[in-house]
């Protein structure tokens, strides 16, 4: 039976750009592979790392503090020559918007989708607040931004 998604270790073409352990770059989807290649080979990406930073957030399902490791952090050179730091999360579009509830959907599916959405929103709110505090930018990238058809 084929795997539902790709996972493994990414091998760098430009290890000098990577921040973190260059021998332990884990990807959990073909989308993350695509973004790894972008970061690794794009000359405007000066430095990058995968799951190299962490922020605490309150998980709405249990009210407890949990740790969130966003997928990427990167320093980029903008068109005007400035350097910006971006934190990037790769997620399916369906997990970045409120779930669509239809009469045909099973109640368990609806609950899982709503829970995933609420947890993602809590993570992203905490990361956005952190980024605003330190002068970074935060973006959730979906298959739409990656130019993929699902």
131 belongs to a structural domain: yes
The domain of 121 spans: 45-141
70 belongs to a structural domain: yes
pTM (predicted TM-score): 0.89
CB atoms within 10 A of CB 92: 14
**Distance between CA atoms of residues 66 and 68, nearest Å:** 7
pLDDT at residue 41, as a whole number: 97
Q: For residue range 30-52, what is the model confidence (pLDDT) as tens digits?
A: 889 999 999 999 999 999 999 99
Instruction: Please name which of 44, 42, 47 lies closest in space to residue 15, comparing C-alpha atoms.
Output: 47
129 belongs to a structural domain: yes
**What is the count of structural domains for the chain?**
1
6 belongs to a structural domain: no
pLDDT band of 3, cuts 50, 70, 90:
very low
62 belongs to a structural domain: yes
b/e 32-65 (16+ beta carbons within 10 angstroms → b): bebbbebbbeeeebebbbbebbebebeeeeeeee
146 belongs to a structural domain: no
76 belongs to a structural domain: yes
**Distance between CA atoms of residues 77 and 146, nearest Å:** 20
98 belongs to a structural domain: yes
Dihedral sign, CA of 73, 50, 150, 99? negative
């Amino acid at each position: 039976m084929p795997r539902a998604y790709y996972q493994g270790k990414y091998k760098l073409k430009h290890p000098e750009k990577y921040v973190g352990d260059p021998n332990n770059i884990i990807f959990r989807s073909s989308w993350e592979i695509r973004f790894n290649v972008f970061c690794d080979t794009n000359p405007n990406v000066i430095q990058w790392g995968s799951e190299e930073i962490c922020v605490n957030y309150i998980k709405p399902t249990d009210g407890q503090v949990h740790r969130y490791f966003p997928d990427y952090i990167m320093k980029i050179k903008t068109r005007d020559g400035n350097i910006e730091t971006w934190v990037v999360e790769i997620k399916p579009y369906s997990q970045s918007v409120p779930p669509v509830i239809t009469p045909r959907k099973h109640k368990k599916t609806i609950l899982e989708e709503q829970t995933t959405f609420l947890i993602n929103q809590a993570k992203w709110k905490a990361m956005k607040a952190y980024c605003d505090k330190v002068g970074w930018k935060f973006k959730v990238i979906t298959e739409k931004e990656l130019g993929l058809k699902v």
